[in-house]
Chains A and B, each alone.
Chain A
Amino acid sequence: MTDQTPVLSFRGINTHYGAVHILKDVDIDIYAGEMVSLLGGNASGKTTTLKTILGYVQPTTGEVLLDGVSVNDWSTADRVAHGVSMVPENRRLFKRMTVRENLEIGAYLRSGEDLSTDFDRVFDLFPRVKERLGQKAGTLSGGEQQMVAMGRALMARPKVLLMDEPSMGLAPVLVAQNFEIIERINKAGTTVFVVEQNANMALSIADRGYVLQTGRIVLADTAQALLQNPQMREAYLGEV
C-alpha cells in the first residue's frame, strides 16, 4: 500500500483564519478504496480540513495533492471535476428543486451525457429516492434528504467521497442505516473520507482513522487499533 500514490493527501498543511491558526502541520494520506475517518470534537478543525480539500480555504503553507498532483491553485470546480465530491453537513439539498433536479445537478459537470447508469446506481442504493423523484426536495423527511444528498454526491462519479458529519441531526436508527450505506458505497469501490464526531460509529466501519485536536493530528492508526487505544477510549468513545 505504501508504494501506491494516495488519491488524496495533505502535506504539512497549515491554515489561518486571520490571525487564528486553525490547522497545524496536518498530514493525511488516503489511498484508493479505503474508508478513512477524521475524528474530533467541536472547533478541532474538521470542517476546515474539508474546506481545504475543496479549495474554499487556501492553506498558508503545505500542499493538497490529488493523485500526487498539487492542486493548491485549482478552483473548486476543477477539483470537483477531478473526482472529489462532498455530502455536506446537514445535507443542504436544493429544497425548492425536485429530487431529480438535485441529482442532475450532482452530475452538473457531465450534463448532456447519458446519466441513466448513474441514476440506476443511486436507485439501487436508495430505492426510496426513485419514488420521490418528482417531489420537491424540501418536502422529504430528514432520512430521505440524507439519501438524496448522498445520491447527489455519487452522481458526480467521485474518486473520493467526502462526508461531513453524516450522523448530524438524524435519529439513531437512521444514523446506523446511514453508515451501513456508506459502507456499501465504499465496498462498491468508492474511496470514502468521513468527518465525524460520533467516533464509535465512524470507526466501526472505517479502515483507518485520524484524530484531530485543536488543529493538530494527535492520533493516526487503523480503526481497530484506535478503538482499543486507551487514550482514545477515554477522550472520544465516552468511556472512563
Chain B
Amino acid sequence: MDRVFRVCCPAVVAETSTQNARTRRFRFNWVDSFLWFIRISAIIAIVVGLTGTIQNFLDGQGPTVEQWRDLFVSSISTGAMYGLVALGYSMVYGVLGFINFAHGEVFMSGIMVGWIAAMLLFENGLWDANPFISLAIVLLVAMFTSTLIAVLTEKIAYRPLRGSPRLIPLITSIGVSFFLQYAFAGLFGVGLQTYPAPPGILSEDINVFGVPIEGTKLLVIAVAILAMVALWYFVTKTKTGRAMRAVAEDKEIAGLMGINVDRTIVTTFAVGGAMAGVGGLLWALLFRNVQFITGFLPGIKAFTAAVLGGIGNLPGAMLGGVFLGLFEGMGPLLVLDGLGIPAVSQLKDAVAFSALILVLIFRPTGLLGERLGSEDRA
C-alpha cells in the first residue's frame, strides 16, 4: 500500500516527511510540561505549608518542641521497620527482576507466629522475668517463620515460573499474597491478636546524649541498625553474598563460574525473609497487634520505600524506609497542617504515597538508584 502510494505521489510523500521533521523539531511535549507543572506546584505547596507551620509554631500554636522531637523519633523507628521489610523487595527484585508482592505476608507471618511464642512466654511468666531473652526468642521465631514462608513460596510458586515473562511471577505473587492472608485468617481467625505489654523498662525514656527517647523506639532503631550491618557484612564480605551479587548481575555467567544459581536464589529469599522477620518483631514492639491483613499496608509501604531508595539497592532500601517513615510521620503536621487542612493525621497514607510519586517525578531512579544503561535494562 505504502509503496504504491509512494510510487504514485512521490511529491506528497516528500512533503509529509519534511512536515514530520518540522513538527518533531518544534514539538510541544505535553508530558514534560505536565511534569514541570507538578514539580513546581509541589514545591510551592511544600514551601507554603512549611511557612504556615513555622508561623503557627512561632505563634505558640500546634505541637511543642518535645512533641516534634517524639514525632521525629517515632517516624524514624517506623521508617527503620519499613526499611527492613523493603530489603526483601529490593533483594528479590535485584536477583529475579520482579516485585514479590507476597513479601508483606512473609512479614505478617513472622509477627503472627511470633505472637504465639510471646503468649507462651507470657503465660509461663518468662516475659516479665526475662524480658530481653523473651524478645530474643520471639525474634528468632519470627525470623524463622518468615524465612521458611519466603523459601517455600520461592520453591512452590516462583521456581516453576523461572524464565517466563516477568509479569507472570508478579501476578503469581499477588495470588500468593492472598493465599497467605486467608490461610492465616483460617488458622488464627480474623480478629486482632495482641502482644503482651512490652517489659516496663522499654516504656521508660532513656537518655541518649541528653535527649530522652522512649526505650521501645530506641530498641527498634538499634535492632534495625544491627540487622542492616549484619546484612551489609553478609552481602559484601562472604562467599555467598558475593555469589548473590554475581547472580543479580548476570545469572548465566555466575553459573559459568560454578555458582549454583538456584541455591543462591533460595538464599536471597531466605535472607529477605529473615529481614522481614526482624521487621516483624519491630512491628510487634511498636504496634503490639497483628491480624491476617497486617502485612498488606506495611508491605506496600515497604515496596514504596524500596522504590524510593532505588530498587535493587540495599542501602537505598533502608534509606527509603527511613524517608518514608519521616514523610508519613512528619509530613502531615509539617506541611498539610500549615496549609490549613483539617485532621491531617488521617492523611498519613496519602502523604506517604504522594511522597513516592514526588520522589519519582524529581528523581526517577530513586534516591540511591543508578541510572540503568540500556544493556542493564534486560
Contact = CB atoms under 8 A, between A and B. Distances in A.
B27 interface: no
B243 interface: yes
Nearest to A94: B249
A76 B255 contact: yes
A108 B250 contact: no
A108 B255 contact: no
B239 interface: yes
B245 A54 contact: no
A81 to B, nearest CB: 6
A156 B239 contact: no
Interface string B242-286: 110110011011111111100000000000000000000000000
A97 B256 contact: no
* Interface of chain B: mostly helix, strand, loop or mixed: helix
A225 interface: no
Contact of A92 (B239, B242, B250): B250
Residue among A88, A94, A111 with most chain B CB within 10 A: A94
Given A97-B242, A104-B242, A54 B258 contact: no
Given A77-B260, A108-B239, A112-B239, A97 B255 contact: no
Contacts of B258: 76-77, 80-81, 108-109, 156
A141 B259 CA distance: 26
A112 B250 CA distance: 23
B254 to A, nearest CB: 8
A121 interface: no
Interface residues of B, number: 16
A96 B258 CA distance: 19
Contacts of B239: 108, 111-112
Interface residues of A, number: 24
Contact of B245 (A77, A94, A106): A94
Nearest to B263: A77
B249 A80 contact: no
A86 interface: yes
Interface in A157-212: none
B241 to A, nearest CB: 10
Nearest to B249: A94
Contact of B253 (A88, A101, A109, A112): A88
A56 B251 CA distance: 12
Given A105-B242, A111-B239, A95 B249 contact: yes
Nearest to B239: A111
B212 to A, nearest CB: 42
Contacts of B256: 54, 76, 80, 85-86, 88
Interface in B143-162: none
Nearest to B256: A86
Contact of B242 (A77, A80, A101): A101
A166 to B, nearest CB: 16
B259 A94 contact: no
A94 B256 CA distance: 12
Contacts of A105: 242-243, 246, 254, 257, 259
A94 B250 contact: yes
Residue among B246, B249, B252, B258 with most chain A CB within 10 A: B258
Nearest to A51: B252
Contacts of A104: 242
Nearest to A106: B257
Contacts of B250: 92, 94
A80 B257 contact: yes
A18 to B, nearest CB: 15
Contacts of A86: 256
Contact of A108 (B243, B245, B249, B252): B243
Contacts of B260: 77
Residue among A54, A76, A81, A85 with most chain B CB within 10 A: A76
Nearest to B240: A111
Nearest to A78: B258
Contacts of A56: 252
Nearest to A87: B256
B378 to A, nearest CB: 14
A97 B244 CA distance: 11
A46 B239 CA distance: 33
A75 to B, nearest CB: 8
Contacts of B257: 80, 105-106, 108-109, 152, 156
Contacts of B249: 94-97
Interface in A66-109: 76-77, 80-81, 85-86, 88, 92, 94-97, 101, 104-106, 108-109
A109 B245 CA distance: 16
A11 B309 CA distance: 53
| 4 closest cross-chain pairs (CB), A and B | A80-B258, A109-B258, A111-B239, A77-B258
Interface of B: 239, 242-243, 245-246, 249-250, 252-260
25 contacts: A54-B256, A56-B252, A76-B255, A76-B256, A77-B255, A77-B260, A85-B256, A92-B252, A92-B253, A94-B253, A97-B245, A97-B246, A97-B249, A101-B242, A104-B242, A105-B257, A105-B259, A106-B257, A108-B242, A108-B243, A108-B257, A108-B258, A109-B257, A152-B257, A156-B258
